[in-house]
Amino acid sequence: MYLNDYCENIEGSLLWHFDSEQVLVQPWGDNSLRVRVVPNGDIIAHDYALLKPEEQSNAQIEVTADGAKITNGRMTATIENIDPLFTGRQKETGRLAFYKDGQKILEEIGFGGRLKLKARRFEPLAGSYKLTMTFRSDPKEHIYGMGQYQDGLFDLKGNSRELSQRNTQASVPFYYSSQNYGFLWNNPAVGEVHFDQTQTQWVAEETDQLDYWITGAEDPAGVLKQYTAVTGRVPEMPEHGYGLWQSRMRYYNQEQVVSVAEKYHQLGIPLDVMIIDFFHWPKQGDYRFDKRFFPDMPAMTKRLKELGVKLMVSVWPQVDTQSENFDDFRRDGLLVKNNAGIPIQMDFEGNVRFLDFTNPKTQKRLWEVIKKNYQDDGVELFWLDEAEPEYTVYDYKNYHYYLGNVEQIGNIYPFYYSKTFYDGMKSQGDSKIMNLVRCAWAGSQRFGALVWSGDVRSDFHAFKQQIVAGLQMGMAGLPWWTTDTGGFHGGDVRTDSFKELLIRWFQFSTFSPVLRLHGERLPFKDVSAPDGSYALHTGADDELWSFGEQVYGILSKFVQLREALRPYLHDVMAEAHQDGAPVMRPLFYEYPDDSQSWNIKDEYLLGSELLVCPVVEAKATSRKVYLPAGSNWQSLADGKEYEGGKEYQISSPLDTLPVFTQTDNYAQLAYLSQFL
């Protein structure tokens, strides 16, 4: 039924149309609206990150002579229908504004008089558009989320973000505003976003339509709960996710793996997961163990199970032109295409092309190979490396996926990479699925994605940035996150400076979602095959006992602390699974009424009850700590009580770090003091 000359009620959604442009505003989850716009033709049906709502919301639609509005719970969108002609000059028409509980929170920019601005600008390309979407925003708001970047920026207001996937960068286009709304740019195109003081502008370099989702709630927890209800939540965390994961670059033979696991067992140090890194295969894309180094996989996995250790193996999406699978994958169209030039997309240890996980046939075929060559021999967990994927040259225009050009669709690649393994493992009866992955997009969390921060440097500067990266990932809806403890590049195990860094980083990782030791330690060691032929080098030893007695004593103490945290972490992980709550939480998440909490980026809450303050400066034996207002706090190290709303200088010798809890919780958590 037509409501006026511009608006139409389509099964409880609002469709506005004028001069071939269509705007569809739909209720999509509690207190939430989805907006799609096309400049010509019909609205396109792809949903990308969004799941279909379980129940259709009862939205209210009202119409006036000048426009219409649609209300879904706390959220309302208005759209103006103003005569496009006024004394011969074009005026704005179809302008959207959004309200939470009756208060305007975001609106499209207006025509701007003589400025002749356009909020929704579709620049024609060959069969698609370059899209620029500009909103007027509140200059006083704070903005958080958007995934993982390595610049240490916390409040993103006044800053910009590249929307593309790179090694150490995971672009997740969802932000939380201090006005208690959340916004998802449901568009996997390469582009950028600018959170200017008075405007927010999104750019997609190539796309077929405008698509975004907005929600409003009472507090940060409500926003995250509503967002993850429509993009998915992490599965229940499996028990092996709570303990120590041992890795290095790289265990290159079967004897190493078993001997390390056995030594942990002999020392009485609990070990949950052993990880075999890359180039355990003959050629990239073979997806099997090299029998010259791993001659009896069933025997190895059987021994690890006897020790209570699960095995994780690295999988890369690269297929070498010399791989036994290359010709078949290429013939069946399962590889990423080049639009021009020689079809080689990375040249690390071979000339390779990437698997195209946006193609359902690729997903099915790869899992068949993985199950046969790994899972059937006892491998239970998978490390999905190179998930951006990491092109030698990030020339996004030159690559094409099954779903479209990389400029148009590229950011969704890690989403389908995780989905491939999630679907495969689920088909084998696994329900608590967790796979390590180096990149993610909105919605990746529902496929059991444990994202790690990539190949970061081994120094205190990079370490400090990881705290911010973890907090922003949690606020973008991905609560499972970890790092290479100690950093990946440049850590020399012979130096006292690296040992200090490793201890401080390990302390932080103990209070992270997953405790995982990994890195490419110096000095390197050459490796040869039994016949003397070349094999990729390995780094120095990276086990708890590899750095001397002092380091071993501290690290092993923190492993015991991690074990003692299991009951508490069970409750925290249950919140992530049930409500989408971050595991690592910014202070404002629990203390939004404390204005100071919106600016603290080197402290965080693990769950709701533990305030963790990592030591992030070299040679520091104390640090400043801010304790949020509204509570009294007690140190878990010595039981000393502090008044909230103040800053303190806290002693932090090398063998400990400041951890606090509210005084009301101290009795339940005081048992942790024996480890601090």
Catalytic: 219? no
The pair of structure tokens assigned to 485 is: 């403890």
- The answer to whether the CB of 586 falls within 8 A of the CB of 156 is no
Q: Quick check: is 377 catalytic? A: no
Handedness of CA 47, 48, 49, 54 (dihedral sign): positive
Q: How far apart are CA 631 and CA 633, in angstroms?
A: 6
Active-site option among 47, 155, 430, 455: 455
Catalytic residue (choose from 205, 236, 385, 407)? 385
Q: Are 114 and 138 in contact (CB under 8 A)?
A: no
> Which amino acid type is present at position 29?
G
Residue with tokens 């092993």: 556
Cα gap 70→28, rounded to integer Å: 12
Nearest Cα residue to 243 out of 553, 450, 509: 509
Active site residue 385: yes
Q: How far apart are CA 174 and CA 223, in angstroms?
A: 11
Give 339-373 as a DSSP string: SSS-S--B-TTS-EEEB-TTSHHHHHHHHHHHHHH
* Nearby residues of 667 by Cβ (< 8 Å), 6 or more positions away: none
The rounded Cα 577 to chain-centroid distance in angstroms is 15
520-522 vs 489-492, strand pairing mode: parallel
How far apart are alpha carbons 195 and 159 in whole angstroms? 5
For residues 503 and 620, give the distance between their C-alpha atoms in angstroms, rounded to a whole number.
12
| 2: helix, strand or coil | strand
Of the chain, the end-to-end C-alpha distance in Å amounts to 68
Residue 73's closest CA among 52, 55, 46?
55
Pairing of strands 515-517, 481-482: unpaired
Alpha-carbon span 76 to 61, nearest angstrom: 10
Nearest to 270 by CA among 486, 511, 520, 557: 557
Enumerate long-range contacts of 63-69, CB under 8 Å, 24 or more apart: 63/3, 63/4, 63/7, 65/4, 67/7, 68/3, 68/4, 68/7, 68/14, 68/16
d(CA 165, CA 345): 15
| CA–CA separation, 596 and 647 (whole Å) | 10
Q: Which candidate in 108, 320, 388, 590 is catalytic?
A: 388
Give the residue from 500, 231, 249, 194 showing the smallest Cα distance to 383.
249
Burial of 358 (0-12, 13-18, 19+ CB in 10 A): buried
Q: Report DSSP letters for 521-563, one per residue.
A: EESPEEEE-TTS-EEEEE----SGGGG-HHHHHHHHHHHHHHH
Across 218-347, where does the E strand assignment appear? Answer: 244-246, 273-276, 310-315, 318-320, 337-338
H or E segment at 7? strand 7-10
Percent of the chain as helix, strand, coil, to the nearest 5: 25, 30, 40
The catalytic residues are: 385, 388, 455
